Structure 1
Amino acid sequence: MGSSNSSLQHIPNAQELIQDTGFSAAHIQRLYERFELLDRDQMGRLSVTYLSDLRVPDFEAIPELAMNPIGDRIIAAFFSPGKDTVDFPSFVRVLAHFQPTDSNRTRDSSGQEPYNSPNRKLRFAFQLYDQDGDGKISRAELLQVLQEMLGMPDTDELLQSVAERAIQEADLDQDDAISFEEFKKCLEKVDIDQKMRIGFLS
């Protein structure tokens, strides 16, 4: 345990990240190493303890994201509105959505649900669709995601039919859009842990 803690001393906010995300000290260390590898600007570091932020091109260099049809949306999820860089704590907190749910952890250090709770995972997935951040998935937003995933033009009749049917089935309040609660209801039988997995520690 002592050696684990000493290896984390050079990592910013390590203990807080362990508490907030449920990652072990070994996972935080491994993620830090991955972050350093992704950081293509690290040549300009001021000292061995300085780690610069990641930018969009750093993420675009990851082959799995480059090949993913919605890779640009996943990359965008790492960035806060108006920011063009990601620091290490933010990087870890986003990745925490992809680790298995721990039913023994009900709150993080700020009193919020853990990042890997089913509700927070669903909220993260919902935001990949809700690009304008209005709290609803519109027909146009759904159509755009389907078009990106399937590589079909958004004018394709089949694609439009799929989007229309999805809206009709999910839109319980008949406002022609899908709210987070409606999205959650549609996915209540889906194993969110199985669907939201990523091999970021291997």
Structure 2
Amino acid sequence: MGSSSSSLNRIPNAQELMQETGFSAAHILRLHERFEFLDVDQRGELRPEDFGAIRELSSNPVGDRIVGAFFSPRKETVDFASFVRILAHFCPTEKTRTRDGAQPEPAHSRTGKLKFAFQMYDQDRDGKISREELLQVLRAMLEMQVTEEQLQSIAERAIREADLDQDDAISFDEFRKSLEKVDIEHKMSIRFLR
């Protein structure tokens, strides 16, 4: 454990990241190794193109949206701490972990996962998923498997079923309500740290 502890000391804010994300020291060390692997220029920052080395993302139809989620609208690079915070959304939810009321809800909570997923659709960051934003995701996911008419029909039905206030868009609350029965904790968990 001594060498793990000393290795952890060379990672800035490691203890804070562990507290904030729920990752263990071993997880932080493993993520740091992966970050350094992706950071081929050793700048201490990743650009969107650095994620191309992740085969699973390059073959994922919405991989560009996943990569985009690592970057805020005005930021072209991501540092290690931000990298860890984003990956925390995919950490399996710990049923036994308790929080006091003063701490923010962890990224890997159900609400954190839903907010992250919502942002993958809400590309213009206006707090709503428009019909066009929904169509963009459907086109990427289904590509040539269905016709444009079928895509339009799927989007229309999704909006109609989820849009409770009938403003022709899906708010986060409507998105959350429409996914009440979906096991989002399982669907948005990657066992990438074992």
Instruction: Give the TM-score band, short-chain normalised.
Output: over 0.9
Change beyond 3 A, Cα 1:199–1:101: closer
Question: What displacement does 1:138 show?
Answer: 0.4
Question: What displacement does 1:111 show?
Answer: 2.6
Q: 2:91 aligns with which of 94, 99, 105?
A: 99
Identity of aligned residues (%): 68
Question: What displacement does 1:101 show?
Answer: 1.3
Which residue pairs with 2:47 in the alignment? 55
C-alpha distance in structure 2 between counterparts of 1:106 and 1:173, whole Å: 33
Question: What displacement does 1:200 show?
Answer: 2.8
Runs of 4+ in structure 1 deviating by more than 4 angstroms, as ranges, are none
> Aligned pair count?
193
* Matched AA of 1:119: T
Which residue pairs with 2:30 in the alignment? 30
Question: What displacement does 1:80 show?
Answer: 1.8
Taking structure 2 as the reference length, what is the TM-score of the superposition? Answer: 0.93
Which residue pairs with 1:121 in the alignment? 113
Structure 2: 5+ residue runs without aligned partners? none
Matched, 1:18 2:11: no
Change beyond 3 A, Cα 1:78–1:5: same
Question: What displacement does 1:4 show?
Answer: 3.1
Question: What displacement does 1:155 show?
Answer: 7.2
Measured on the aligned residues, the alpha-carbon RMSD in Å equals: 1.9
Taking structure 1 as the reference length, what is the TM-score of the superposition? Answer: 0.90
Conserved in 1, the CA contact under 8 Å of 2:92 and 2:191?
Answer: no
Which residue pairs with 1:135 in the alignment? 127
Conserved in 1, the CA contact under 8 Å of 2:8 and 2:14?
Answer: yes
Change beyond 3 A, Cα 1:32–1:107: farther
Question: What displacement does 1:199 show?
Answer: 4.1
Matched, 1:164 2:156: yes
Which residue pairs with 2:56 in the alignment? 64
Structure 1: 5+ residue runs without aligned partners? 43-50
